[in-house]
Amino acid sequence: MTDTEALRARLLGSMALRVGERQLPPLDSARAESLLAYLLLHRDAPQPRQRLALLLWPDSTERQARTNLRKVLHTLRRALLDADRLIDIGPRTLQWRANAPLWLDDEQFERASGKVRAMADSGGQRVGAVAARVGHV
C-alpha cells in the first residue's frame, strides 16, 4: 500500500475493504470484522486491549479473551497490507494510526446526513419566514 492509497472500508451492511482499486479478501471471522470496525470508529483514542478483549468475548475469562484477541489481531495483520503502518499495536493498547489514509462509508453517510439536516433546517426557517409574511399581508 502506498502512502496515497487509502483503505476504503464499508461498514454499513456487509463489511468490504479496498485499497485503491484492489478489493481485499473478506476477513475470516466476524470478531476480526468487529475489532477492525471498532478501531476505525474509535480511532481518536488508544483502545485498551483488556477492554477490547472483554468487549468481544464477554463470556470468556479475561485470560482466554486476551488470547482470542491476539489471534484475531494476527488475522487482521495478515489480511491488511502493511497492517503495522495502519494500526498502532502496543503491548497494552491498539489504535488506528492518525496518519493512516482512510475512507469510511460511515463518515460519508454522516456528512451527507448532516447536509440534509442543515438543508431541512434552513428550508424550515424559510417556510416560517414566508408564513410570517403571508400572515402580515
Domain containing 86 equals: 7-104
- Does the residue 117 lie in any domain? no
The CATH number given to whatever domain includes residue 17 is 1.10.10.10
76, with CB counted inside 10 A (0-12, 13-18, 19+), is buried
Q: In this predicted model, what pLDDT tens digit does every residue of 46-95 receive, in sequence order? A: 999 999 999 999 999 999 999 999 999 999 999 987 899 999 999 999 99
Question: 3-class SS at 107?
Answer: helix
For the entire predicted model, the pTM comes to: 0.77
